[in-house]
Structure formats: structure tokens, C-alpha cells
A = this chain, B = another copy of it.
């Protein structure tokens, strides 16, 4: 099987080395002989880490995807265009495509799926979410018949590293972020990770697969970790919780009407939950199915070699598929109603800093009461002339909690409102 590779960065480089070095072993193990025969890059003059690229490099990506000598195309360019156009051309030219492009798949996944189905070719993208963790195949094949209720995930290694460091070293967000940048776990501009954009794209892909629905990254409620401070983490841990940037895709039914709510935000997760032990740059997803029960898949969510390993698994699957002809009728992705975050029901952890004087507590409690948000527990720590108060609510509606926060902001005695944490696990009501 002759492979054309689009893009040769970190993952592409690892893939070329992997296939060049292990082609014999891969053939023996899998029954498929792979050869990377052409590699399209933007800049032919750029120095490359891999040896033996000469003679395979081209800057004509369009020529590559239309080349009749290429059987399979791997897209590792990222972003929307030119990746989208090239994938479409490759599919139309009868080639199956393997992609690691979370931006594209979380934006135009349904369109590309339909095209692949219509030309009877595979479009596989295990590497787009969770690196080497075989979660795309689990959701799309193993659980294809399962009624999935909810998927929880830790799908961004950068933020999980930062939160783990803050927990283990009792350090600040800024210090942990700086260390992540030094270690190469975060980009110099960390926005895509710390503000939850990366996790939101992955959450859209997960929800699309789990519910066979057309969910895009813009559908995902998103809140990053920049407001989390070490006091939040310490409070959570005293209560038996950890703080994680959680990706949540859940489906609800009201009568027969189905709806989906997708969100990414920091959460207080009880330490008895299997996801609570997922630390450092590791990723995991936790699936709650009607019949399968609880499943968790855990592993390396990023990095050249793990991502290349996921691409390789897809390549073998696609190559095996090309040896067959015909296809089954793949269902188109459904349009399912998306719930806005306002409709979420959750427990919440709300931190406020108030002037420490008589009567403040009464006015704060009054704001909660007016919006029907019932307080389950409260912890107060005195600072100089101020007090830090942490509330955990009973199950409440997001819209009511947001109204409560707005009401608190109007109180003159409230100096600061901390990052909002949604609470999951253990004593879920």
C-alpha cells in the first residue's frame, strides 16, 4: 500500500520513521505492507529531522492526492484549508484518508463523513482525539450499537499537566504554566489549551461519535482554567475532590425528545472517580453506556510517537478495507437539539471574597435564596479584613447560578468572585 503524506511536522516525522524502520515487522504483524511513497510539504528547503526523505518530498499537495500511484492519504497539515479541499480530492480520487485534524473534523466532520460514505472509502481519525488511546474506534465500532448516556473526558494534556502540578506542588497557575512551557507541554501562546478551545474541538468529535449526531466545536460550552487558583485546588482536596478540566458530552430525554449538552470547564471531581487518578499529560475518557456500563480508556493523548501509532492503526485498518469492495450503508449524522448551558443541572462550587463585617453573610445568603439556589455546605476562611467563603450548592440550574453570581457581583461587600467549579461524582444527587 503506497501512502501519500500531507504535512511533515512532529507527528509526520515520527510516522515516517516508524513505517520506514518497521515496515517488515508491521507486515508480519498485520498482513499489510505499508510504504510512504510521497510527502507533500509547504517548504522544500526547510531542514528535516528524518533521513531518507529526499526523492519523496514534493510541494505539490494537489498532485499527490490525485496521483494514481497513491493508495492511501494521511493528512497531518491541521486547520481547515487547504486540508479540507485536499481530503475531499483524495476521497473523490478513490483513496481512503487518515487524518489527525481535530479542527477540521470538529467543524466539517458530517460533510466529510457523507462524502466518504458516498464514494465508499474510509475516513479514519483515531489520532484526532486522545493520541494513542483507541477511543474513536471504541465509540464508532465497539459501541456502535450501544446507547451511550454520557462521556466524560480529560482530553487536553497541557491543562491536565498544569492542574496536576498545582495540586502536587501547591503552586500557582502562573508557575505551573511556565513549567509546562519550559517542558514543551504548552505552546508559548497557550491560549488554545488553557482556554479550552482544543478540548472543545475534541469534545465535539466525541459527542458526534457517541451520539451519531452532528456536533461542531462551536456547539460546545467552553470555560478554561485561567481562573483556577491554588486555594480552589486545596479546598477541593480537603473535601475529597480533585480539580480537572473536564470534557462532558451528555444526552438527555424529555419524553421522546432527545437533546445533547456538550461542555468543557474546570470541575471538582470526586477522588473515587476513575478519572480522578489521570494525572500529568495523560488523557482518558469515561463512557457511561446503557448496557456496557462504565468504561474508561486511558493513555498518551499527545506526542509524536503516540499520535503516529494511532495513525498507523488507522492506516492498517484502511488498507485492510481497501482489499475489500462494496460498503454498508452508513447512517448520516443526525441533527439533534443542543441544550444551552443555561439548562444544565449540576452542583456548583462558588468562591467569593467579601469584606469581613456584620450583615454580609445575611445579604449573600439572601442572593442565593432569591434565585432558588440551595446551599449544601459552606466554608469560611478569614483573611486580614476580608473573608474567603466557599459554597457548595445542592443540585441547581445553571441559569439560576449565573443569576446568583450576577446578584453577588452587585453587592458592595463582595470584592471578588473566583472561578466557578461544577461538581461531579460520589454523592451525585
Residues in A lying within 8 Å of B, measured CB to CB: 14, 18, 22, 25-32, 34, 126, 132-134, 137-138, 141-147, 212, 274, 277, 284, 289, 291-300, 303, 305-306, 308-310, 312-313, 315-317, 319-321, 323-331, 334
Contact = CB atoms under 8 A, between A and B. Distances in A.
B328 A325 contact: no
Contacts of A313: 141-146
A299 B306 contact: no
B331 A31 contact: yes
Contacts of A22: 145, 147
Given A141-B316, A321-B324, 16 more contacts: A22-B147, A28-B212, A30-B331, A134-B134, A134-B137, A138-B138, A141-B141, A274-B277, A284-B296, A292-B299, A293-B309, A295-B297, A297-B297, A319-B328, A323-B326, A325-B325
Nearest to A210: B29
A275 to B, nearest CB: 10
12 contacts: A28-B334, A132-B295, A134-B138, A138-B138, A291-B305, A292-B305, A293-B300, A294-B299, A295-B300, A297-B297, A323-B326, A324-B327
A66 B308 CA distance: 44
B310 A142 contact: yes
A232 B326 CA distance: 58
Given A138-B137, A331-B29, A293 B289 contact: no
A32 B299 CA distance: 31
Closest 4 A/B residue pairs (Cβ): A134-B142, A132-B292, A323-B328, A324-B324
Nearest to A312: B145
A277 B279 CA distance: 13
Contact of A293 (B143, B306, B323, B334): B306
Contact of A144 (B293, B316, B328): B316
A232 B254 CA distance: 52
Nearest to A308: B291
Contacts of A331: 27-31
Nearest to A212: B29
Contacts of A31: 328-331
A374 B238 CA distance: 42
A325 B315 CA distance: 20
Contacts of A308: 291
Nearest to A17: B291
Contacts of A325: 324-326
Nearest to A311: B145
Nearest to A293: B300
Given A291-B306, A299-B295, A323-B326, A312 B134 contact: no
Nearest to A32: B328
A212 B323 CA distance: 21
Contacts of A305: 291-293
A299 B293 contact: yes
Contacts of A284: 296
- Most chain B CB within 10 A, of A34, A295, A315, A321, is at A295
Given A29-B331, A31-B331, A145-B26, A298 B299 contact: no
A14 B145 CA distance: 14
A168 to B, nearest CB: 12
Contacts of A289: 132, 309
Nearest to A134: B142
Contacts of A138: 134, 137-138
A312 to B, nearest CB: 4
A358 to B, nearest CB: 47
Nearest to A323: B328
